[in-house]
Amino acid sequence: MNIAIVIPVYNRMSITIAGLNNIQAAIDYYMINSVEKYQLFFEIVVVDDGSTDGTSSFIRENFPNIKLINGDGNLWWSGSVNLGARYAIETLKSSHILLWNDDTICAEDYFLQLSEALAQRPELVNNILVSKIFWMDRKDVLFNFGCYFDPANGRKTLIGLNSHDNFDTILPVDWSGGMGTFIPSPVLEELNFLDSKNFPQYDGDIDFFLRAKKQGIQAYALPKLKIYNNPETTGIHYQQKLKDLPKIITSNRSLHNLRKNLKFTKRHSNTLRSWAALLRGYVSMIVRLKVR
């Protein structure tokens, strides 16, 4: 099994270096300690979408085994994933893609646990698999163990959010974020990859999961695949003042991008309850901005 780990990066070299060192150490740990007959082979594919801080030069000089692809600054997250995944499938002949973020830190035995899970449950090789995600600053507290989506009202639920970990069995889930997500290459090709046009930065991951589910492709969260998410480097944080409203509803870096949310709701929910919930969310946001 040839797995390509696809990592989009942009202008945060110190974070990227730490993330690459971590994932390389986890691969090395697997290569030293693996005794399973289920052998995994890894390639790291980094897509640098126009960094100006020397990220690409550093990677070329210090990580010669990494496959580095450069974008023009207009790919965003989904476009970067697609570029890296297409390269991995077409050029490297990768059987699976593992989506990763440069600020994601994994447990030392992450790949060993992945190998053992696939050896014990070989049917999982054809499914989407997701990781158990903890907060980096509270390593015993969950960010999520996969997520649910309710098409009746558009509600997204993070399983186990801010709770202590008590999940020890494989769990069917509806979606997860783009970090630590294991996807068979034929699934990516069948679904025509991520929708980078409508969801360039946010919701490209959940949209992909939900489109896969509609095609009968189930996602499972694996309890022993442990990664850690840094809240300080995830997303964009505005001052949340009324003058910021135009940027909040139009920026690709904003979770409240109006065009994105309208597209998502129409595609995956499109009920009176979901539209009402979306409207209430924007009204509530504007009220909060006014009082600051």
- What does the pLDDT look like over 59-108, one tens digit per residue? 999 999 999 999 989 999 999 999 999 999 999 999 999 999 999 999 99
Give percent above pLDDT 70 in the chain.
96
Across the range 202-211, mean pLDDT stands at: 97
Here the CATH number for the domain that contains residue 153 is 3.90.550.60
- 237 pLDDT higher than 60: no
For residues 108 and 22, give the distance between their C-alpha atoms in angstroms, rounded to a whole number. Answer: 8
Position 57, amino acid: S
Asked whether residue 216 falls in the same domain as residue 275, the answer is: no
Residue 98: strand pairing partners: 5, 182
Query: What value does the mean pLDDT of the chain take?
Result: 94
pLDDT level of residue 241 (50, 70, 90 thresholds): confident
Residue 74: predicted pLDDT:
93
Residue 253: predicted pLDDT:
87
Asked whether residue 185 falls in the same domain as residue 73, the answer is: yes
Residue-number span of the structural domain to which 155 is assigned: 2-233
Residue 238: predicted pLDDT:
47
**Considering the entire predicted model, what is its pTM?**
0.94
Position 47, amino acid: V
Which contacts qualify for 60-65: CB closer than 8 Å, 24 or more apart? 62/17, 63/20, 63/24
Give tens-digit pLDDT for 170-182. 999 999 988 999 9
For residues 30 and 36, give the distance between their C-alpha atoms in angstroms, rounded to a whole number. Answer: 10
Asked whether residue 266 falls in the same domain as residue 184, the answer is: no
For residues 234 and 229, give the distance between their C-alpha atoms in angstroms, rounded to a whole number. Answer: 8
Asked whether residue 83 falls in the same domain as residue 116, the answer is: yes
Asked whether residue 10 falls in the same domain as residue 79, the answer is: yes
Across the range 28-49, mean pLDDT stands at: 89
Residue 236: predicted pLDDT:
46
Structural domains counted in the chain: 2
pLDDT level of residue 53 (50, 70, 90 thresholds): very high
Asked whether residue 172 falls in the same domain as residue 278, the answer is: no
Asked whether residue 156 falls in the same domain as residue 272, the answer is: no
The enclosing H or E element of 128 equals strand 128-135
Residue 289: strand pairing partners: none
